Structures are given as structure tokens and as C-alpha cells.
Amino acid sequence: MRWAGWGDPAKSRELPDQVLKLLHDLLGVRPPPAPAATLESVELPPIALPEPLLRALAGVVGEEHVLTSRADRVRHTRGKSTPDLLRMRAGDGSDAPDAVVLAGSHEEVAALLRLCTTERIAVVPFGGGTSVVGGLQASRTGFAGVIALDLGRLDRLRSVDTESMVAEFEPGVRAPDAERLLAAHGLTLGHVPQSFEYATLGGFAAARSSGQASAGYGRFDDMVVGLTVATPSGDLDLGRAPKSAAGPDLRQLLLGSEGVFGVITSLRLRVRRAPAERLYERWRFASFAAGSAALRMIAQEGPLPAVLRLSDENETTFGLAKPETIDPGGEAGCLAIVGYEGRPATGREGVGASAAGPGISLADRRDAVAGVLERMGGEPVGEVSGEEWERGRFSAPYLRDALLAAGATVETLETAGFWADLPRLYDAVRLTLLGELGSPLVMCHISHVYETGASLYFTVVTAQEEDPVAQWERAKAAVSAAIVEAGGTITHHHGVGRDHLDAYAAELGPVGVAILQAVKSRLDPAGILNPGVLIPRTG
């Protein structure tokens, strides 16, 4: 992973001249005045943790698992939001941890939490490092120091139960490794968010991730049937059955807890049989409203495909994945991607080989979905090749690096709401961004649908001002307030972190905030876990 960007440097992209010209002509983008910092030139704070505490940490995990090199500290500094990258490109490493500590077992995690409680060391649980909401940026105030608790050594598939269709994983398994390990059993999670290449299973759970095939495979929180969590006050082991009436579902209190209540050390996940066949198609609708109505019909009356995604007019026109095809004057309508994964047979004989949801065949499912889409005004416009889909699905973060280097700020934000509220929410976000950023390019898609509502995912491109971080933070604060005001949730799948704290407090209300604070005080009385993240301060 690039330390001040996204992904494998070998996959980095250059922007074609045509796109650079378009950025300049449409948005006034011009190259930034200074070159990006190098790893060696990043300004790091001195290591605050005194030697005896570093030795005490090494006493738990072994000396070779306490890392304090420049590269290790930089690579565990903040996450991968655009402001995070802009700060790193500017050489600002002020949020670097004092040390990176790699735990090798549940027991070591628990022992570290006890030690850090006693010694008042802040702990940032660290999986793939892909937070885009400041979820890895702990507060130092009142602490002897800050460590990143890297879970990368907890990387095993512990068991597979093909009768219950449950697999037990350690939290540090990266998504591609999880799929590789499951594929050996003919199984899959089917969880493919844009962070797929780097993100870990523990991170997916802690941040309530949702993937590109959520229509068929569900959100990550739907997949979690059990969790083991180490907290400073002891262990939690949750999930004796898929569902229960034994009180509140405490799994749902740990899912989305972003490391502030404890560290997930084991996950029991619902798995599916790996699909034998995949098919992705494009559909065109006259407008975002018409396409939304079709997606709603599918979500409410099904059957659901594995992937269901609709771009608005702007995203259809400027489709970031293929910048060379941009035609700003065109009338493309709105494109949807509809993907099917399952068994190929059309008969009933092989119902037992399905993957995504109910076991009707891919062909039957495709027929049913296509019938609804056509009835709702959709027009099929051809298959997407598997290669094209693979290439497109993870490309946006790579493209972002090229855009940042060219002097454009590109960032994403997302929300969700009930169907009847979505038009108002869409307008509120768009109008606020247009008002705050001059004339940015604002694009949107729906990528996750439910019977009662859907998510809206926005991509914004604008020319960098002199202080692009401050520029974005201003716009972000305004748009977050607009989302709260319009009745949406502040995040559908990115999480709260630090960036959404104010809006989250408004969304929860004071009694909701009080609940979080009460749980926090009880489980982590010294407040060492990810301080400053998720839990709004009151007063």
C-alpha cells in the first residue's frame, strides 16, 4: 500500500491529457504549487512513549513485534480519506503513533489492553488502515503515548462448518485472503467493498462495511453470527444462535463500535457456496428518478440480483472508471449495473448450487429482474465483461491519487434514508456541495438497496484551493449538517470516526450519546481505546 496514497504502486494510473484538459476547462484545476512530500521528508513527532513502556509492550508480544521505524509509524498514521492523503502529501505526520504493536493471539491482545489501561497508553486497533472518516486518528490528550495495535498477525481461518455454513476467522485476515482461504472449500463471503484489496474482516465488522454485491450477499453485519472481543474489562463472547430473543442483540452493539469498546479477536461469519457463474449487465433509464423507482421495485418485490447500482446523470456522463469516454454534452440518461452470481442451470434440478440468496438459477433470476426493470422503463444496453467489471470495481481510489497530484480534490461521501426521503436527501447534498465549493463536479449513485430505502453515494471533484484540507473540511461540515437536517443517516457504510462526530451526535440525540458513553465507561474505564473516535463528547 502506498504510504500517502492508495494501493499497489504498480497499479497507479496516469491521467490522459484529455482528462487534464477537461479538469482545467470545467473545474479550473491547475497543478499544485509544491511537490508531494517523500517518506523521508514527512515530519514525525518524537516518540513519546518512554523506553520502559516500550519494553513492557515488548514483554507482552516480543521485541520483534514492537515497531518504531519511520516507515512503520508513517504507514500507521491516519487512514485513507482525501484529507488524510492531502496531509501526508504535505508532509504532516503529526498523528503518527509512537509504536506499532503486533499481537499474535487473543491473550496477547487482552494483556496489551490491561497493560495500556494501567500505563495510560492510547490504543488504536489497526486492520487494513483504510478508514476514510478519521477512524485511526486517536487523541493523545492525557495519555503517555499512542500505539497502533496492528492485527495483521491474527490472519488465520480457524474453522469451517459446512453444515451450519459458518467460518471462524481471526480479525486480521485481509478480504482477498479470506476469499482465497474459503475458495479452497468452495465457499465465499461475497463481501467486496472498494477497500477489498487491503481491508480486514475485523475492520469490516468494527465499521459495518457494505460491499458492492450487498444486494445478493447482504451487508457485512448481516454475515456476522458471532464475535469474540477483548475489552479492558474482560472478554465478550457473543452469538450462540443465528437469532435469539435473549435480550438485546449485543453483537449489534459491537458491530460498528470502531474499536472503542474492545478489540475483535474472532469472527464467526455466515458463508455461501461460491457461485459457478457471474453475469453483469448495463441498463439505461431516462432519469435518476426513473431508475430509482426501478431499483425500489426490485428491492421490494425482488428477486434481488447480487449487484444493483444506479448512477445519476452526472456519474453516468463522467463515469470515473472510464475517463476517456467522457462526453459532457451527451444525453446518456442514467446507467445501472445489474450483476448476477449463482448457478447457471435454468431447470430446478440443481437448486443446491446457488450463492447469492435464494437458490433460483442465475437465468431464472435474471429473467425475473429483467422483467421488472423493463416494466419500469429500463432498457438493456449490453453485458459488462468480467474483466471490465473487475477492473472498474476497485479503480476509483487509484484514480484519486492521480487527481490529487493534478491539483484536483476528489472525495466521496455517502448517506442512506427511506425511499420517500431520498429525493430530498439527494438535493440537499448536491445543493450544499455546489454552494460550498463553487462549481464542483458532483456525481451520485445508489449502490445498496433495502425494502424500505437505499444509500446515496456521492463523488465530488473540485479544484484545490491553497489549503485544500481546510477547503474540504468546510464543505464536509456543511454537507454533514445538510444530511442531518434532511433526515438521512450520516453514513451508510463509511463509519463515524472523527469526521462524523458532530453529525452523529445530532443523529443519536443526547440519550443515544449517553448510552454509548455509559457502555464506554464500563468496558474501557481508562478510555484508552481509540480516544476521540466514535463517541461524541457532551457538555
Site for its own copies in 242-281 (CB under 8 A): 242-250, 252-258, 270, 272-273
To the nearest whole angstrom, how small is the minimum distance from the Cβ of residue 374 to its own copies? Answer: 10
With 0-12 / 13-18 / 19 or more C-beta atoms within 10 angstroms meaning exposed / middle / buried, residue 58 is: middle
For its own copies, the closer of residues 421 and 465 by Cβ is 421
470 binds its own copies (CB under 8 A): no
Residue from 441, 500, 524, 528 touching its own copies (CB under 8 A): that is 500
Residue 437 CA: distances (Å) to CA of 22, 446, 460, 472, 474: 18, 23, 10, 8, 9
Which CB sits closer to its own copies, 89 or 191? Answer: 191
Among residues 351, 431, 434, 470, the one that binds its own copies under rule CB under 8 A: 351
Cell of 225: 453470527
Q: Measuring CA to CA, which residue among 495, 494, 321, 316 is closest to residue 412?
A: 494
Question: For its own copies, which stretch binds (CB under 8 A), given 12-20, 57-65, 164-172, 329-337?
Answer: 164-172
Asked if residue 504 binds its own copies (CB under 8 A), the reply is: yes
Secondary structure letter of residue 64 according to DSSP = G
- 438 touches its own copies by CB under 8 A: no
Dist CA 528 CA 100 (whole Å): 15
Whichever of 329 and 509 has its CB closer to its own copies, that residue is 509
349 binds its own copies (CB under 8 A): yes
Query: First and final CA of the chain: distance in angstroms?
Result: 40
Hey, CA dihedral for 473, 477, 483, 488, is it positive or negative? positive
Shortest CB 501 distance to its own copies, Å: 10
Do β-strands 334-342 and 145-150 pair in parallel, antiparallel, or remain unpaired? Answer: unpaired
- The number of helices, as runs of H, and strands, as runs of E, in the chain is 18, 18
Give the C-alpha separation, 110 to 125, whole Å.
12
User: Considering only CA atoms, which of 336, 330, 197, 182 is closest in space to residue 270?
Assistant: 182
Q: Is 492 in the site for its own copies (CB under 8 A)?
A: yes
Say whether residue 235 binds its own copies (CB under 8 A).
Answer: yes
Q: How far apart are CA 52 and CA 224, in angstroms?
A: 39
Contact range with its own copies by CB under 8 A, out of 117-125, 314-322, 325-333, 351-359: 351-359
Using the rule CB under 8 A, is 469 a contact of its own copies? no
CA dihedral (182, 9, 4, 89) in degrees, to 10, reads: -160
Judged by CB under 8 A, the residue of 240, 382, 387, 539 near its own copies is 240
Peptide bond into 303 cis (omega under 30): yes
354 versus 462: smaller Cβ distance to its own copies: 354
C-beta of 441 vs 449, nearer to its own copies: 449
Q: How many residues bind its own copies (CB under 8 A)?
A: 105
98 part of the interface to its own copies, by CB under 8 A? no
Binding flags for its own copies, 365-384, as an x/- string (CB under 8 A): --xx--xx--x---------
Q: Using the rule CB under 8 A, is 192 a contact of its own copies? A: no
- Amino acid letter, 9: P
Q: Does 359 bind its own copies (CB under 8 A)?
A: yes
With cell 491516519, the residue in question is 78
Is residue 303 involved in binding its own copies (CB under 8 A)?
Answer: yes
| Segment 309 to 328, residues that bind its own copies, using CB under 8 A | none
| Coil vs helix vs strand at 494 | coil
